[in-house]
Amino acid sequence: MAIMAGKAYFIKSFPIGSVPKTKGELSFVILINLPFTGIYEFAKLRIYPKIYTFASSLKYSEMAEEIISKGENKKEKYEELLPQIASLLEGETDVVANMANVAAALKQVFGFFWVGFYVVKGDKLVLAPFQGPIACTRIGYGKGVCGTAWKEKKTQLVPDVDKFPGHIACSSDSKSEIVVPVILNGTVVAVLDVDSELLDSFDDTDARYLTMITEILAISFTA
């Protein structure tokens, strides 16, 4: 058992303190801890110092060759993707590069109709790296789904965009949407926007794991 802030996580047969031999084992260990603390907080706890040393020693190019996705359902796909994104962003301080890779990874694994970011610049959200059709360039504070997520500092789950008050129709093909704020030190610095051409495509599973991804990404905004 590994005890972390009063919560226990069973590590199965992986020996505590041993050095993982494969990227798969590394991913499994990070996955156990990431949902509770985030990879960077996990490093500070130093519960598994040898495992973190191994993770830190991996070169960017070793983890960026491809995104592996073998999960049979949404939850499994996210759980596989999380540690890969953490490794992909590890050591890279350019926030534009990191947003681009996160958007590409999500598009590759889930095939979302549109996935990307808007960054806060003054009183507007400005289009940032994305995957999908051309999009609205600027969105006002509190306007549409993205602006509402910024204003409320809260994830917006929209099963039918046509029923969302003040929805901004960047594409008529978009039917449902989820927007997750990227929050750094209590301030929204960007939003992650994901659209589907189908109604009711997103749920609490998406909200939970996309939030974890934004938490990993948020550190890039300090560089």
Q: What is the pLDDT of residues 156-183, one digit of tens each?
A: 999 999 999 988 888 889 999 999 999 9
Annotated domain spans of the chain:
2-89, 112-222
Let me know: does 166 contact 75? Beta carbons within 8 Å.
no
Look up the pTM and report it.
Answer: 0.74
Query: What fold characterizes domain 112-222?
Result: Beta-Lactamase (3.30.450)
Let me know: does 23 contact 88? Beta carbons within 8 Å.
no
75: left (phi over 0), alpha (psi -120 to 50) or beta: alpha
Lowest mean pLDDT, pick from 26-35, 108-117, 160-169: 26-35
pLDDT recorded at residue 223: 61
* Nearest by Cα to 136 from 100, 172, 167, 170: 170
Cα angle 103-165-113, degrees, rounded to a multiple of 5: 25
**For residues 35-57, average pLDDT:** 39
**For residues 128-141, average pLDDT:** 97
**For residues 49-75, average pLDDT:** 61
* CB-based contacts of 217, cutoff 8 Å, min separation 6: 89, 95, 98, 99, 102, 182, 192
